Structure 1
Amino acid sequence: MSKSKRIAIENNNMDQLADVIKRHTSDEYLNQTAIPGLRFLKVSNPEHSLPEFNNPFLCLIVQGGKSVMIGDAVYSYQKGEYLLFALNMPFVGMVAEASAEEPLYCLHLDIDMPLIAELLMDERLRIDFTKDTTTTGVYLDKADGNLSNALLRLVSLLDTLREAAFLAPMYIREIHYRLLRSEQGRQLASLSMPSSNIRKIGRVISYIKENFQDPLRMDDLASIAGMSVSSFHQHFKRFTISTPLQFQKQLRLMEARRIMATENIDATAAAFKVGYQSLSQFSREYHRMFGNSPSRDIKNIRDSALGNTLRNNKGLA
């Protein structure tokens, strides 16, 4: 197949995906669908930052543009591109291209790790685990025709829900297979291997997530990972693009933002509730992460539909 014909097919798939998603997306921000693990994001106003903390998932842009900040790294992607989060990492999403006439539309699909492990049992995949080439816990790629076709078939089931219960699991299985066969699929595959370094860091991430209010002890985290302290620091930074302390700070700030927006408490109470000892430090770091003071940011959230999204997100767990 020629390159021009392949590009035409990929663009046509994105346009069809956008048409289906528009029909099934009414609310601003995250919209749950009738298919488990499948959500659509709609944003008409590009002024708000969008903090999110999810299980491993894929985010495909079908219209508009978006940037994601993870630690010190920024990933920008547009129509036809996707980010795949192989680890449970905090990040801040920033809308780069959206309007009331042409909103940002994204497809979110949870990654089913037991399904990944099951697929890897088939020797025909032939993924080489002898060398750990994983770079980070997130990667950016373009949805080729095979992947976009499978996603289109899955999303189109929303128009024929009677078939969804039977067909959705098969299409989701194919999507996971396509991701494993992608250029970066080895990073996703590594999470199913208990001895892989990325899987070990994943255990530490779960621990920090559950204890983000408490002080961190590097010896304890290294022990959870089964690594020396120096090796742990190296691999944590490699996979999460942040240090453990930076990672914890991001979790604290996101949770503080959520509870201020949904539980009607002020910045002082929120800061101490998530583990800060200094209000000035909290305000300074909050402004650096979200681009506004806590009071101004929360006012913007309450004036927008983002408040409903945060309200539905009951904590980090």
Structure 2
Amino acid sequence: MYLEELRTLLARHARPDWTTAIDGVLISMVDRSDPPAPSMSGTMLAVIAQGAKRLALGDRVYEYGPGQYLVASVDLPVTGQFTQAEPKQPALGFALVLEPSAVAELLLQAGPGDSPRPGGGTPPGIAVSDASAPLLDAVVRLLRLLDEPRDRAVLAPLVKREILWRLITGEQGATVRQLGLADSSLSHVSRAVRWIREHYAQPFRVEDVAGLSGMSVSAFYRNFQAVTAMSPIQFQKQIRLQEARLLLATHPGDVTGVGHRVGYDNPSQFSREYRRQFGAPPSQDAARLRHSVRTPAGVLP
């Protein structure tokens, strides 16, 4: 019942840039299955109403289809692909950006017995579940407000809070809950992720990043791997290669310069690792990028 109306609303309000009149709400409508493409996940909820999606994070693969949702609680380097999308039946998706401050506010307002208890261990940075009827109902009501501009400014923030609460109290509540806790293991890992992203071209010692995160080295390794499915050095390499690919799209003739800019002093190592990641050496991939129009395929929905 909810999915049928959800598909109708998404198809009606989809724009080429995926934005909507509601801040933090995105809609995708994709009519072809492109090859897997790298991107950053962002922190968000993504719900599929039609079609299917595959997302890879390190050695973990997540697949979700109609009536399922994906939560990303850390901004991670992923590879995404719409696996079911065609002109007659495009993939349709909804996404809501998750703000840690909004999650924290809800947790503070909830009574001690209302908020879910923290689970054991560090939750993964990405998780997939079936969407409950109350969650789908709230998503549909939020999208209906796109047709009701008079009510939108007042009601949209309230419905977005409801969606957050449905997530916090749902199957992936532990992941979403940690997004709003300043001293959670996920927040410590997020601190390290941000630092590596901002300094990806610089060499670093894991001990130093562990210290910045407020963890011992052993706890840092364990929690970082749990959240990102990668070691810190593997994570840095993913960021470097993604940034290199973006730079090559605009500087296709300067492969050596791009490699040096993202932190590779050895051009052969850069070319070798780039080819392993993207299936072609940098110069060939740059030419391919110039002649193709790709559909964004990260977590966005």
Same fold flag (TM > 0.5): yes
| 1:249-286 deviation line (CA, Å, top 9, x unaligned) | 11111111122224555433322211122333223322
Measured after TM superposition, the shift of residue 177 of structure 1 is 0.3
Q: Is the 8 A contact 1:61 1:105 kept in 2?
A: yes
Q: 1:95 to 1:290 in 2, by over 3 A?
A: farther
Query: Aligned to 1:116, which of 95, 98, 103?
Result: 103
Q: 1:15 to 1:264 in 2, by over 3 A?
A: farther
Question: Helix, strand or coil: the match of 2:220?
Answer: helix
Query: Aligned to 2:272, which of 255, 264, 284?
Result: 284
Q: Is the 8 A contact 1:49 1:290 kept in 2?
A: no
Aligned to 2:158: 170
Aligned to 1:24: 13
Question: Helix, strand or coil: the match of 1:186?
Answer: helix
Measured after TM superposition, the shift of residue 108 of structure 1 is 1.6
Code of the residue aligned with 2:95 in structure 1: it is H
Aligned to 1:125: 114
For residues 149 and 301 of structure 1, what CA distance do their matches in structure 2 show? 40
Query: Aligned to 2:88, which of 80, 84, 101?
Result: 101
Code of the residue aligned with 1:128 in structure 2: it is R
Aligned to 1:219: 207
Question: Helix, strand or coil: the match of 2:56?
Answer: strand
For residues 204 and 189 of structure 1, what CA distance do their matches in structure 2 show? 19
Code of the residue aligned with 2:219 in structure 1: it is S
Q: Is the 8 A contact 2:41 2:78 kept in 1?
A: no
Aligned to 2:3: 14
For residues 148 and 300 of structure 1, what CA distance do their matches in structure 2 show? 39
Aligned to 2:133: 145
Q: 1:78 to 1:228 in 2, by over 3 A?
A: same
For residues 296 and 158 of structure 1, what CA distance do their matches in structure 2 show? 43
Measured after TM superposition, the shift of residue 188 of structure 1 is 1.4
Q: 1:265 to 1:53 in 2, by over 3 A?
A: farther
- Pair 1:236 & 2:227 matched: no
Q: Is the 8 A contact 1:70 1:90 kept in 2?
A: yes
Q: 1:168 to 1:292 in 2, by over 3 A?
A: farther
For residues 79 and 294 of structure 1, what CA distance do their matches in structure 2 show? 36
Q: 1:57 to 1:265 in 2, by over 3 A?
A: farther
Matches within 5 A, 1:179-218: 179-218=167-206
| 1:181-240 deviation line (CA, Å, top 9, x unaligned) | 102202211232222211111111111111111112111111012222122111111111
Measured after TM superposition, the shift of residue 172 of structure 1 is 0.3
Measured after TM superposition, the shift of residue 161 of structure 1 is 2.4
Q: Give me the CA root mean square deviation.
A: 2.1
Q: 1:165 to 1:265 in 2, by over 3 A?
A: farther
Question: Helix, strand or coil: the match of 2:54?
Answer: strand
Question: Helix, strand or coil: the match of 1:194?
Answer: coil
Q: Is the 8 A contact 1:51 1:93 kept in 2?
A: yes
Question: Helix, strand or coil: the match of 1:60?
Answer: strand
Measured after TM superposition, the shift of residue 296 of structure 1 is 4.1
Question: Helix, strand or coil: the match of 1:66?
Answer: strand
Q: 1:303 to 1:18 in 2, by over 3 A?
A: farther
For residues 146 and 251 of structure 2, what CA distance do their matches in structure 1 show? 34
Aligned to 1:269: 257
For residues 158 and 141 of structure 2, what CA distance do their matches in structure 1 show? 10
Code of the residue aligned with 2:178 in structure 1: it is S
- Pair 1:258 & 2:246 matched: yes
Question: Helix, strand or coil: the match of 1:94?
Answer: strand
Q: Is the 8 A contact 1:259 1:265 kept in 2?
A: no
Unaligned runs of at least 5 residues, structure 1: 1-11, 311-317
Identity %: 35
Question: Helix, strand or coil: the match of 1:306?
Answer: coil
Q: Which has the higher contact order (CA 8 A, sep 6+)?
A: 2
Code of the residue aligned with 2:68 in structure 1: it is E
Q: Is the 8 A contact 2:168 2:177 kept in 1?
A: yes
Aligned residues: 295
Aligned to 1:4: none
Question: Helix, strand or coil: the match of 1:14?
Answer: helix
Alignment TM-score, normalising by the size of structure 1: 0.86
Alignment TM-score, normalising by the size of structure 2: 0.90
